[in-house]
Amino acid sequence: MSDKRLQEDLVSLTEYAVDAQGRQLKLPPAKVKAALPAVAAIAAKNNDQQIPATGGGIASPLTETDIADRTYHAAYYTSTDGLIQIPAIASMKFTDANSAEVMLEFDSPP
Amino acid sequence: MGTRYWREVVVLDGVDVSARLTDDGVTTSAEEGGQGIFNLTLKALPGSVNLDALRGKAVTVSYQTRTAGGTILSTELLMTGNVDLPRYDPGRKTISLRCTDRRDDRIALLSKAAIDALTPGAKWSSDVFESEADSFQYASDRLRTLPGALDCEPDGDIVYTAWAAASPHITFTASGIFDGEPPVQVEVAPASSIRNRTVLELTYRYEISYQREASSGWTYSQSTCQYLATPTTLPTRDMARRAAEGLSGWLLRSMSFTPLWPTGTYACSPDVNFINNQPQLIIGYSAVWVKRWTQTIDEIITVTLSSTQSISTYGERRADKTGSMSTDFDVEDYEGPSGNNQAAALSSVGGDGASGGSLGSGSEYPPLAGAVQNDWDDWRKEHTDRTAWAGWIETHIAIASVEHLASHRLNRAVFAVPLNPGIAVQKTLRVNSVGGVTCTGKVVAMTHVMDARTGEARTDVELALSRAGAAGVSDPLMAPTPPSYAPTPPPTVGSVHAGGNHYGQDGTSTTEDDAWTGYRGNYVPPLAVSPLVTFSDSLRVDADEIEAAVRDNTELPDTAAYEVAPPHDELSIAA
């Protein structure tokens, strides 16, 4: 056989040590990615937010909205001597410290 | 010089210059996979000798037979080519011409499409070969995957010829072969040159992208009437949003809130008039988070090619090789530069998010196109190119297969016959019982010698004999089915947890635990003043870790096996 042929055949048997194009035949180890651990998020209430302890209830003090808002019962309180009759308040309207409307309602005199 | 019944005919640049040939004669040599070469010597014509102009000129050599009377019987072309190197010998006044059939140049001038057409069935992968290769390199690369060669025919055409012996074109008996010692010389290649097992470790690296979607939220633990009887602090929308958005590595897709009960009279026996003038307080929220990450897979397929008959005949002759390819995927772009802690830029729907409405339309951060949900309910997508992968793996297998075949056909039968223009490297010849030798093989090298001095015209022949112990059947060299990665999910897949209620100032001595998930507040006023343990007013959201099985770099081994059966050509030697 010719020397050239033998040489080519021998080369073809051994050349795998490197790729014909010098390409990387073995990949480097893959980059190890960081684990994805458990995470937590905590959010505290902002101190500058004046959040009342509850969302409801009547906040003192109560301030009457307008004396004209008062309503009266038809019946009167009458003095024992029968000379004086005092109007009996039926309802009064107030606003509390949170500007919420508060209504007081009273019974009619006997 | 004796009587010749043949004559060489040389046509140089369209002119028959046979009459100017010296007695040196003409020799043409061809070799499988190499350039054909021929040499001839012309007497110089009187006048100037234009050596330079001779370079590249077309030349043909033909073999002409004639009768004793000079009648032409046949004229057959032996080789077509060009003058490569002209030389002038001033002493003899001759011009010697070294010519080639320009096989390499002709291939180099072919288009890649033409090369493809010449080498059907070849494998070619840009992950094995150089994409920018020129035509000659491209053809050589393709030929590494084919058991055959590209050679010039006598007329100069490039043709592909398989190595495997065909049905014999010419059969020679003792009378047709020149005597020699022996007339047919058989040389077998050393056993060490045989390759009958190849183990390829082929690593394919790719990324799997995952998207996990988790829904959770927080709900206040007391009923309306319980709240009105034993009120507590409550979280705000702002707190909930900050907690939900603060979950590092998780993207907030959407969020909605349950506001504190509205102003009204509640039948709590007795009735309670309740005025809600704190719209920022909430008694619940729900949210959907999205987690994106990737996993690197090294798919390692161990491919074994075996020539079983050869192994059992000659012993195992093994080569181990490695190869790798990878498919790129922009991990950072997908995961985000720092673990995808992207602040959610969610639009508010029906409010500003601080005092009403919800956040996000729910369509933010959709799964990648083509992703499918796995057993874990994660959206999963393999970023592979299986077409390129199959081409790559089949190219590697084909190269190894061709190397097996090549290593089994290094055996030679050498003999000489009277010049036969029908012999070429494309031909299969049979020797039938000459000097005890019978064999069949394809021509790998040959030389036509036309010696004008002795009048001898002969053809020296070298046949390749493929020997493999016995005939076998080769497997189709198709890429195997790739392995899949589908780890079993744990009983509970990691998720997001936001629920839980913990209240201080409840008259117990329970102290606050920072690890508590959900809301931590206080009864206001305290349920009892002693002991009085006050908690912070905060919301906590927890996300589990992403399981290593879907995160850690993973090697995915697999195997594939192929039988490569080199031809077992006819060969017998009788002592």
This model of the complex carries an ipTM of: 0.74
- Say which residues have a Cβ less than 8 Å from residue B104's Cβ, sequence separation at least 6: B35, B136
Q: Which residue is closest to A10 within chain B, CA to CA?
A: B193
Per-domain residue ranges of chain B: 6-101, 113-162, 165-191+410-465, 499-539
What is the chain B residue with the closest CA to A32? B553
Residues of A within 8 A of B291 (CB-CB) are 36
Where in the sequence is the domain holding A63, given as residue range(s)?
58-110
CB B33 within 8 A of CB B409: no
* Stretch 204-233 of chain B: residues touching chain A, C-beta under 8 Å: 205, 227-228, 231-233
User: Which of B233, B276, B545 minimises the CB distance to A35?
Assistant: B545
Residue A19 has pLDDT above 60, yes or no: no
- Each residue of A37-92: pLDDT tens digit? 999 999 988 765 544 444 455 667 788 888 888 889 888 888 888 788 888 888 88
Of the candidates B410, B443, B414, B445, which has an alpha carbon nearest to the alpha carbon of residue B29? B445
Greater model confidence, A9 or A42: A42
Q: Would you call B410 and A9 a contact, using CB atoms and an 8 Å cutoff?
A: yes
| Cβ neighbours around B486 below 10 Å, total | 10
CA distance B566 to B473: 9
Q: Which CATH class is domain B165-191+410-465?
A: mainly beta
Q: What is the interface size between A and B, counted as CB pairs within 8 Å? A: 187
pLDDT of residue A22: 52
For B231, which of A21, A43, A53 is closest by C-beta distance?
A: A53
**What is the least distance, in Å, from the CA of B420 to any CA of chain A?**
20
Strands (E), chain A: 39-44, 63-64, 71-78, 85-95, 101-105
Q: How confident is the model at residue A50, as a pLDDT?
A: 47
* Residues in Cβ contact with A68 at an 8 Å cutoff, skipping those fewer than 6 apart: none
Asked whether B554 and B299 are in contact (CB, 8 A), the reply is no
Instruction: Please give the sequence-ordered ranges of beta strands (E in DSSP) within B244-378, or none if there are none.
Output: 250-259, 264-266, 272-274, 282-306, 318-326, 348-349, 358-359, 372-373
**Domain contains A101:** yes
A51–B323: do the CB atoms touch at under 8 Å? no
Give B548's contacts in chain A (Cβ within 8 Å): 35
With 70 as the cut, is the pLDDT of residue A13 above it?
A: no
Instruction: Decide if A13 and B294 are in contact by the 8 Å CB cutoff.
Output: no
Give A39's contacts in chain B (Cβ within 8 Å).
Answer: 247-250, 542-543
Helix (H) or strand (E) holding B378: none
Contact B246 A6 (CB under 8 A): no
Cβ contact B339–A36 (<8 Å): yes
pLDDT at residue A1 above 80? no
**Per-residue confidence (pLDDT) for residue B441, from 0 to 100:** 98
Probe site for chain B from A36, A51, A102 (most B CB atoms < 10 A): A36
Cα angle: B344, vertex B350, B351; to 5 degrees: 70
> In total, how many domains does chain A have?
1
Q: How far is A59 from chain B (nearest CA, A)?
A: 10
> How confident is the model at residue A98, as a pLDDT?
65
What pLDDT was estimated at residue B264? Answer: 86
Among the partner residues B129, B293, B542, nearest to A40 by beta-carbon distance: B542
Give the residue among B439, B441, B457, B461 at the shortest CA–CA distance from B449: B457
Identify from B197, B239, B555 which residue to disrupt to test chain A contact, counting A C-beta atoms within 10 A and taking the largest count.
B239
Parallel, antiparallel, or unpaired: how do β-strands B554-563 and B358-359 relate?
Answer: unpaired
CA distance B401 to B147: 8
In a domain, A4, yes or no: no
Does residue A104 sit at the B interface (CB-CB below 8 Å)?
A: no
The 3-state DSSP class for residue B523 equals strand
- Cα B242 to its chain centre, rounded Å, is 49
A31: chain B residues, CB-CB within 8 Å: 296
Asked if the structure places residue A75 within a domain, the reply is: yes
User: What pLDDT does A20 receive?
Assistant: 52
| pLDDT in single tens digits along all 575 residues of chain B | 446 689 999 999 999 999 999 998 899 999 999 999 999 999 999 988 899 999 999 999 999 999 888 899 999 999 999 999 999 999 999 999 999 999 999 999 999 999 999 999 999 999 999 999 999 999 999 999 999 999 999 999 999 999 999 999 999 999 999 988 899 999 999 999 999 999 999 999 999 999 999 999 999 999 999 999 999 999 988 899 889 988 988 988 889 999 999 888 899 878 888 888 788 889 999 999 999 999 999 999 999 999 999 999 999 999 999 999 999 999 888 886 544 444 445 655 544 445 556 788 788 889 999 999 999 999 999 999 999 999 999 999 999 999 999 999 999 999 999 999 999 999 999 999 999 999 999 999 999 999 988 889 999 999 999 999 999 999 999 999 999 999 999 999 999 999 999 999 999 999 999 999 999 999 988 999 889 999 999 999 999 999 999 999 999 999 999 999 999 999 999 98
Alpha carbon of B363: minimum distance to chain A alpha carbons (Å): 23
Residue A47 makes CB contacts below 8 A (sequence gap 6+) with none
Stretch 41-70 of chain A: residues touching chain B, C-beta under 8 Å: 41-46, 49, 51-58
